[in-house]
Amino acid sequence: MKDHSKQWTSNQVEQALACPFTRRNFLKALLAAGALAALPGGMLVPRSSIAEEIFGPTVFQGKDAYQTFRNACPRNCYDTCSIVSYVKDGVLQFIEGAPESTFTNGGLCVKGYAYPRRVYSPDRVKYPMRQVGRGSGNWERISWDEALDIISDKILEIKEKDGSLLGMALTKYSGNFGITHYGVEGMMSSLGYTTRFVGTPCWPAGIDAQNYDMGSMWCNDPEDMVNSKYIIIWGANPAHCSVHSMKFVTEAQRRGAKVVVIDPVFTQTAAKADEYWEIKPSSDGALALGMARYLLDNNLVDRDWIKNNSVGFAEYEAYIKENVTLDWAAEQSGIPVEVFTRVMSEFAAADPATIWIGYGMQRHINGGNNVRAIDALVAMTGNMGKVGGGARYGHLYTWGFNYHAMVQSPPEGSVGFVGESGPKGEFDTGQAATEASYTDRAVNINKIGQVILDTNDPPIRLLWAANKNVLSQDFDRNKIEKAFEKLEMVVVVDQFFTQTAELADIILPTTTLFEDWTVNVSYWHYWLGINEQAIKPLFEAKSDIEIASALSAKLNSKQPGSCTFPENIDTKEWMEKEFNDGIYTLFGIKSWEDLRDGPRKANAGLTPWADGAFATPSQKYEFKSELAAEHGHFDIPKFKPGRDAYAPYRLLTPHDKYSIHSQFQNVDWMHDYNPEPFLYVNPKLARQKGIGEGDTVRLFNQVGELTIKVKLTNNVPADSLLVYENWFGKNNKFNVNNLVDDTSSDMGKYKTGSPGVALHDQFADIEKV
């Protein structure tokens, strides 16, 4: 058998690199690298050196030698970086942060700088592919027409068999937050009423908590942290997950602010703090209640602010004094009384002071309640509505687009779901249904395996997965694999052969951000950025809305009127249709084209609640929330214990620095930095188990197991184990969700449709292999 990679290196590369270097030559070289026309299986074989060999040493030729484009990172990340892309001869050469944004400030994270490697990775899905025998790895290339034929036939079959399309389900989340990518939901709506996996695994408990307290999740501009006199970073690790925010934290320190980090793990952020506390996981609420008790006992609360801007404080104060002691809070949290009382004295004296509430600390069965207790500390010290103050969690203030791509109508005569969801996915479809009463069937995104297994009448037959790697990122991997056996068809839209693609019937290639038009904002900062198409889509990749349009045309050719999604679209025009006068006014622009000169920052909303008017029913901060009580929660923040341990050691599975969930780690540059996963173990625990540095261990619990190498570190508590969530590329079976079950957190259903998931309330044991 010929060695195609060597043949390519000696022959085709010389031709491809001959001057002038054009996009066409680049694609020819990339194609030749795997002899793709003759060997479809070659598309599955990693050749990480291809991009390096094509580009050769990077020689900067001066900015005038390149076309420049505006882009914005659409990943699920605080920073949503504004990007300038440099293109020559139709090839993306390099990128940098947009200097116009005072948040991005010309820089990117380590993952961002690797974007060109992602675009030109030889491992990208290049064509529609069909797997003959799900999970067999026996892939064959098919045309778009063939792929859409197969999918459309299945859709029409389901509609005929069930009398509706409730047997077709969409699971989609945060792979691409570009606004036009909500066209995936639009595609589903244009087909009829379907089953939707709703909710979010990310931040739902905290969203509900802040809605009960303030009426909305709305945080201060992160750039105003430079004005803070005291910063508590509670359960967040921005040095990994929001690198651009760190400069505002360090500038505040330079100006004299104190920074305290509260986290079970000694993180990179903790290393940069003035003080670090190793808190017991899930005890955050107990600690916050103890802090509140100290503030009350020492008259360190802002009684004027409380009187004028809140309701329910008397009840909250009474609960604290009757039920909470300082010693109890110290015992629960592991933080000594003298430590947290000193910091509360400093916090109350600082003006302004702020708390950054991380998403990790609300991923517990008591997570939402814990967030409410922390919100209360900020409110009772009068730090709401201040520049440099606030309880910082996130916001959607700048997200007021038209959602043109998402808002599509079902075909006339569509039949949908009627009635309330029952337990465990058992649905009462009702008796007397009218077209006006039909809806999609909403099911819990965080229990995808259980939902598929339990849902009937009709069962889920076809699963469409877009902007999401289900098998890598959803919970209880073993249960999900079992659930997939029940599905009749799985369609995955992705750029890579992910773990979900391994169990798909059809995979459709989709564009990267540099091959698409869209617009992006952040759930953290207040900048708006355009995303221009910098290069033409590689190979046969299509955007989400182009796929929807093509599917619509195929369906309507077989059954006219079966899909309402427009059959001919222009992605740039659809991006334009997302703008409205409200967006233009908020960002001080006359047209979206103004964004070609650089990103723009909102001119309002940067200091929430500054006028003292909250969005709650009372229009005040609600220490006591009747709405929370109506939803089955405590009316005031009270102590709620964490999950009982079901194995000897706490298992923590946080985000890695070199990836965003299952994205980026498979790119060669990231792999060079971080080539394999490790289990991080405290040396004290390792000695007890007879385990040394580099040993291979079995990590196991009631959910599943992993075999993994150990690294010893004092950064992890002696009663905990830590392994970063990640996807290391195809054919790598590592998956932390082999060990994470789908137990729900306490809140999330109110605002996101489903409760969150208690992914940090997990436990495990280890043994040397």
Residue ranges of alpha helices (H) inside 534-595 are 544-558, 571-576, 581-587
Task: State the amino acid at position 215 in one-letter form.
Answer: G
Task: State the amino acid at position 344 in one-letter form.
Answer: M
Using only C-alpha atoms, the chain has a radius of gyration, in whole angstroms, of 26
Count CB neighbours of 163 within 10 A.
11
d(C-alpha 755, C-alpha 743), whole Å:
10
d(C-alpha 739, C-alpha 478), whole Å:
9
d(C-alpha 257, C-alpha 589), whole Å:
35
What is the SS3 assignment for 163-185? CCCCCEEEEECCCCCCHHHHHHH
In this structure, are residues 380 and 259 in contact, taking their beta carbons and an 8 Å threshold? no
- Work out the end-to-end distance of the chain between its first and last CA atoms, rounded to an integer number of angstroms: 38
In this structure, are residues 552 and 563 in contact, taking their beta carbons and an 8 Å threshold? yes
Q: Which residues of 466-503 are buried (b: 16+ CB within 10 A; e: fewer)?
A: bbbbbbbbbbbbebbeebbeebebbbbbbbbbbbbbbb
d(C-alpha 465, C-alpha 652), whole Å:
27
Task: State the amino acid at position 406 in one-letter form.
Answer: M
In this structure, are residues 352 and 227 in contact, taking their beta carbons and an 8 Å threshold? yes
Residues whose CB falls within 8 Å of the CB of residue 254, separated by 6 or more in sequence, listed in order: none
Which residue, chain included where needed, has tokens 């996807």? 727
- Helix count (H) and strand count (E) of the chain? 28, 27
The pair of three-digit structure tokens given for residue 535, joined into one six-digit string: 């290069």
Secondary structure class of 4 (helix, strand, coil): helix
The pair of three-digit structure tokens given for residue 73, joined into one six-digit string: 């990172």
The pair of three-digit structure tokens given for residue 183, joined into one six-digit string: 């066209």
- Return the pLDDT at 435: 60
DSSP state of 739: S
User: What value, to the nearest 5°, has the Cα angle with vertex 245 and ends 240 and 250?
Assistant: 100
Q: 684-689: long-range contacts (C-beta < 8 A, 24 or more apart)?
A: 684/718, 685/649, 685/718, 685/719, 685/721, 686/710, 686/712, 689/766, 689/767, 689/768
**What is the phi-psi region of residue 470: left when phi exceeds 0, alpha when psi lies from -120 to 50, beta otherwise?**
alpha
Length of the chain: 769
d(C-alpha 178, C-alpha 570), whole Å:
16
- Cα dihedral sign, 371-374-378-379: positive
- Return the pLDDT at 730: 72
DSSP state of 132: S
The pair of three-digit structure tokens given for residue 115, joined into one six-digit string: 């974007």
| Inter-CA distances, 237 with 190, 249, 270, 673, Å | 40, 12, 8, 19
What is the SS3 assignment for 172-223? ECCCCCCHHHHHHHHHHHHHCCCEEEECCCCCHHHHHHHHHHHCCCCCCCHH
Task: State the amino acid at position 115 in one-letter form.
Answer: Y
- Return the pLDDT at 659: 87
Task: State the amino acid at position 492 in one-letter form.
Answer: V
As beta bridge partners, residue 494 has 509
d(C-alpha 99, C-alpha 106), whole Å:
4
Residues whose CB falls within 8 Å of the CB of residue 307, separated by 6 or more in sequence, listed in order: none
Give the burial class of 515: count Cβ atoms within 10 A of its Cβ; 0-12 exposed, 13-18 middle, 19 or more buried: buried
The pair of three-digit structure tokens given for residue 211, joined into one six-digit string: 């809605």
Count CB neighbours of 234 within 10 A.
25
DSSP state of 744: B
d(C-alpha 75, C-alpha 73), whole Å:
6
DSSP annotation string for 602-651: -SS-SSTTTTS--SSTTSSEESS-HHHHHTTS-SS------PPPSSSEEE
In this structure, are residues 333 and 325 in contact, taking their beta carbons and an 8 Å threshold? no
As beta bridge partners, residue 172 has 466
Which residue, chain included where needed, has tokens 């996009």? 23
Torsion of CA 366, 368, 370, 375, to 10 degrees: -170
d(C-alpha 604, C-alpha 423), whole Å:
43
Secondary structure class of 710 (helix, strand, coil): strand
- Return the pLDDT at 207: 98
In this structure, are residues 54 and 30 in contact, taking their beta carbons and an 8 Å threshold? yes
d(C-alpha 81, C-alpha 647), whole Å:
40
Collect the ranges in the chain with pLDDT lower than 50: 1-57, 421-433
- Return the pLDDT at 426: 26
pLDDT digits (tens, 9 = 90+) for 624-657: 999 999 999 999 999 999 999 999 999 999 998 8
In this structure, are residues 668 and 478 in contact, taking their beta carbons and an 8 Å threshold? no
| Inter-CA distances, 617 with 63, 378, 396, 622, Å | 54, 20, 19, 9
Element (H, E) at 377: helix 367-380
Torsion of CA 287, 290, 291, 297, to 10 degrees: 180
